[in-house]
Amino acid sequence: MLLKRKEDLENGTANTESDSPMRDGSPKQAPAAPVKKPESQIKIQSVSAKQEKTPDNPSGEEVTPTTWLNNVFLESVRLDASDIHIIPEKDYTSVRFRIGGRMSDVAKWDINYHEMVISRIKIISGLSVVEKNIPQDGHLELMFETRPGDTGPSSLNFRVSTMPTINGEAAVLRVLSKETSLMTLDQVGLSEKSLYTFRKILQRGHGVILMTGHSGSGKTTTLYAALNEINAEEKVILTLEDPVEYSVPRIQQSQVNPAVGYNFSNGLRAALRQDPDVIMVGEVRDEETAGIAMRFALVGRLVLTTLHTNSISGALTRLLDMGVSKSIIASAFTGIAAQRLVRKICPSCRVESTPPYDLMKMFDIEWPADQKLYAGQGCNECGGSGFRDRIGLFEILEIDDDFRNIILQGLPISALEEYVKNHVKETLLQNGFDMVRSGQTTLEEVIRATI
Ligand SMILES: [Zn+2]
């Protein structure tokens, strides 16, 4: 994969770095004894700027701040980082990535080059290079020249933030959106049973489908996979998002901008006048938005949306607390799902592992002694974390008449919870245990995500 900044592409001055950033000099280890804590195996790799032959720079060529930074970008794509932190310490520049929600140290560099690196970031992000004593916010778009077989994004959008610290300026780059191939519903991690239920609800073509989960739980990715499945020629699909996370052909995507008074509720009103068959509302934040979305679903259209709650029953109580009427909730919903993300064990360094007895005891989890567990040892492919990519855990409730009655009767949350537990095909925890049994993730990950 080659890295090209959008402006470079336009000016025909694209950088053509090779695809081997931040080499790791250590030899690959053969799988050996079971590991206990793969996430603690952080490797600090270094790239020297000096003209010396090192394992990181075998040719002895000088690494310029621009080259070094491009390598950081390529490495962040390779490891699928959501944030890049370039932080000045007293004696070195530290590069840290947030991968799968967790921070890890990925590189150190000569502090004498720190100012040049920050200047380069500022220039390409449209920030003032002269201002060093105040925080600044900017934006950066990178484009990648992909080759056949590449699975990475073709472009990345970053929000760039700099801040003065006692050691110099720190820069944090957050990935806002990627131009990448969308996932299909088969790829998000739905089990066969849950996939069947989800498709059944989706195929109805009307009503509200609500995804619940905390921020970063993969809700939007799943809704996009659903949109991808119904993105047919005979349908008008419109989205209201904050921010737009994926760009999809044939779907009208609109980014709300509360700073200029364009929010979810007035955006939704305007969207309805665009004659859509399907609307995706990034998030239901207030009664007004919820009310408009549900009334739209009641006239035979499909609404996909999300709510920041931990559980299906929690979502329902939140909507009632917002002031949405019981009768609207009872009649508008066709399905509610809860989602979590767990990290997948790195396939390159997966070995058999021992059960996390302390954690199991703490949360009263039993695991059959003859059922094998796996974990990643940490290798160059996964940046030493033992994990690579993430996969969703799901719990999906198809709304039926019994459930409508429970809502209309105003039964307490305990009754809702009991109903959900008995009527979902599988709970988040059951889904997680299946993933552990099939060696896709660890028991620790499932416990952390679901309990
Ligand atoms: Zn690995």
Query: What are the pLDDT digits (tens) for 382-410?
Result: 878 899 888 999 999 999 998 899 889 98
Return the pLDDT at 58. Answer: 58
CA of 361 to the centre of ligand 1 (A): 28
CA of 33 to the centre of ligand 1 (A): 15
Element (H, E) at 345: strand 333-345
Q: How confident is the model at residue 294 (pLDDT cuts 50, 70, 90)?
A: very high
CA of 346 to the centre of ligand 1 (A): 4
CA of 375 to the centre of ligand 1 (A): 10
CA gap 213, 201 in Å, rounded: 19
Tracing tokens 């559980």 back to the chain, one arrives at: 311
Q: How confident is the model at residue 215 (pLDDT cuts 50, 70, 90)?
A: confident
CA of 388 to the centre of ligand 1 (A): 7
Return the pLDDT at 29. Answer: 36
Evaluate if residue 48 carries a pLDDT over 50. Answer: no
Return the percentage of the chain with pLDDT > 70, whole number. Answer: 84
CA of 250 to the centre of ligand 1 (A): 38
CA gap 239, 252 in Å, rounded: 6
Q: How confident is the model at residue 411 (pLDDT cuts 50, 70, 90)?
A: confident
Q: How confident is the model at residue 18 (pLDDT cuts 50, 70, 90)?
A: very low
Q: Which residues pair with 307 in a beta bridge?
A: 212
Torsion 141-142-146-149 (CA) sign: negative
Element (H, E) at 374: strand 373-376
Return the pLDDT at 44. Answer: 36
Return the pLDDT at 59. Answer: 61
Instruction: Compute the mean pLDDT over every residue in the chain, rounded to the nearest whole number.
Output: 83
CA of 35 to the centre of ligand 1 (A): 12
Evaluate if residue 56 carries a pLDDT over 50. Answer: yes
CA of 359 to the centre of ligand 1 (A): 23
* pLDDT, average across residues 311-321: 91
